[in-house]
Structure 1
Amino acid sequence: MHFEHSARLRAAYPDLVAGVVLATGITATADVAQRTAAYTAVARERLAGGAESGFPQIQAWRRAYAAMGLRPTRYRCAAEALLRRLRLDDELPRLHPLVDLCNAVSAAYAIPVAVLDLDRVDGDLVVRPAHGDEEYLSFAGETEHPDPGEVTFVDTAGRAHARRWTNRQSGWSAVREGTSSVLIVAEALHPGAEADVTRLVAALVAELAEGWSAPTRAAVLTDTAPRFDVTTAGEASGQAVSPGTRWR
């Protein structure tokens, strides 16, 4: 199995940088509340200086959504939606220790972070424009089909694991109580994205080691190193990403 962005998508968004982390041994009983709170506090501090719409990371995603023909204030990237909720409610949702942690990290860095249950992904996973016949399962249990050309995460079975790229994940591969293996994906388009994504990935690897003692593999993907080969649990290595480092 491998993960990558299609050549067509990378050609349209040459500044795209993606961080990926494979982790195994995930449980729903880990106590990462303090670490989650620490990242949430960072996000609150950033918001104290101005609304999320002014962050360069969010502005880059707004430009991308406008280029896709989507109204950015209607369809927000996941990081913007989290920051907006934090600004209005002063809290982030509580769902699962890993999801809560990743949401807080996403808000702190203002970068969308997706967490997928690998046991619910069939074969390769490619971020690409949809054909329109892919099947997306909403959290309400309804089957939808992405619009033709809409960017989504598609596996070999034709399941769409996202709507409107970083706007909404699928209920099919959402992390649940029994989830043990995950693929975490962070995507950014802003100037300086590679350095920020590298730091985000390193932070996640450290948190997974601390909170779950989880074996991990990680990479920062760019147009020159676009593919991540997903290993089995027994092959996961536990190496963190340092600035400027990539694995394929």
Structure 2
Amino acid sequence: MPEALSAAEFLARSRVDADVFALRPDYRALLLVAEGLDPATADPAQRARVDGLVAAAEEHARTVLEATPVDQVPHIASWRDAYRAFGSKPQRTRNSVEALTRRAPGGLPRVNTLTDAYNAISVLHQIPLGGEDMTRYDGPARLARATGEEDFDTAADGAPVIEHPEPGEVIWRDDRGVTCRRWNWRQCRRTALTDQTHTALFILDALAPLTDADVLAAGDALASALSGLGPDVQITRRLLAG
């Protein structure tokens, strides 16, 4: 049985490996844990607030893309360079903020309250942002270069399947396997958020030109969006930097 970690213990033991910082010295990760969530029973006003965030994100993406081709948006271009640095082709496996920004003008995907909220914040702040059920982690979070032997729990043609990352690929992982491939491209099934998630981990990935102040502002916006999704939501966070 996985060791149960408090939010503070989980964050204190989470880390980014040195070879990831060697790849991108400008990288930072803001890890945010939200406890006391009860998204299934969120009141209509809070659900309407999340709907408003989604609508604002869709309009923001339209404005961004009317002014600049998507691959030239500064934050997206930076992630494209990072993907090339570990051998991934960004036009085939798009970083999460590019994928969402491209999709947003025609409507962001609606998944569940937690996912809809963090997708909206991701587009509004132009930062890759992932959310997972922390209680399904086995040990703390770690950003590393893959050996290629790690298990990745995903689906293909609607059926569960175990895949493996490419050697050298940047992955988020725990003690059991990969939780997110290619830095922020695709998350595993095991730790997926649901309306039954009560403790969630959110990871905000940042590269220049995003500043620390920008990253923290995105974290504040996410914390605000989550604050009404439970009677007593508690937020704990940690910024990891080289």
**Out of 103, 107, 122, which is 1:106 matched to?**
122
- Between Structure 1 and Structure 2, the one with more helix by share is 2
Task: Report what 1:229 is aligned to.
Answer: none
Distance in 2 (alpha carbons) for counterparts of 1:3 and 1:55:
30
Pick aligned residue for 1:25 from 32, 36, 60: 36
1:156 alignment partner, one of 175, 200, 203: 175
Distance 2:120 2:219 in 1: 13
Give me the TM-score of the superposition, normalised by structure 2.
0.85
The reply to whether residue 47 of structure 1 matches residue 58 of structure 2 is no
Following superposition, the deviation at residue 177 of structure 1 comes to 2.7
Q: Is contact 1:55-1:110 (8 Å) kept? A: no
- For the residues of structure 1 that align with 2:140 and 2:72, how far apart are their CA atoms? 36
1:62 equivalent in structure 2: 80
Matched, 1:142 2:142: no
User: How far 1:134 sits from its partner (Å)?
Assistant: 1.2
Letter in 1 for 2:169: E
Measure, in 2, the Cα distance between the counterparts of 1:39 and 1:142.
33
Q: Secondary structure at the match of 2:39?
A: coil
Q: Give 1:108 deviation, angstroms.
A: 1.4
CA distance in 1, matches of 2:95, 2:211: 16
1:210 aligned counterpart, secondary structure: coil
The range that moved more, 45-54 or 90-99, is 45-54
The equivalent of 2:191 in structure 1 is: 173
| Stretch moving more, 107-116 or 30-39 | 30-39
Flag structure 2 segments of 5+ consecutive residues without an equivalent.
1-9
Gap regions ≥5 residues in structure 1: 224-248
Tell me if 1:116 matches 2:137.
Answer: no
Aligned twin of 1:16: 27
Aligned residues, how many? 220
Look up the match of 2:240: 221
> How far off is 1:173 after superposition?
0.8
TM superposition shift of 1:27:
2.7
Identity, % of aligned pairs?
Answer: 33
- Report SS of the residue matched to 1:142: strand
**Residue type matched to 1:147 in 2?**
E
Cα distance in 1, alignment partners of residues 140 and 151 from structure 2? 16
RMSD of aligned residue pairs (Cα, Å): 1.6
Q: Which runs of 4+ in 1 moved over 6 A?
A: none
2:218 alignment partner, one of 189, 200, 209: 200
TM-score (norm 1): 0.83
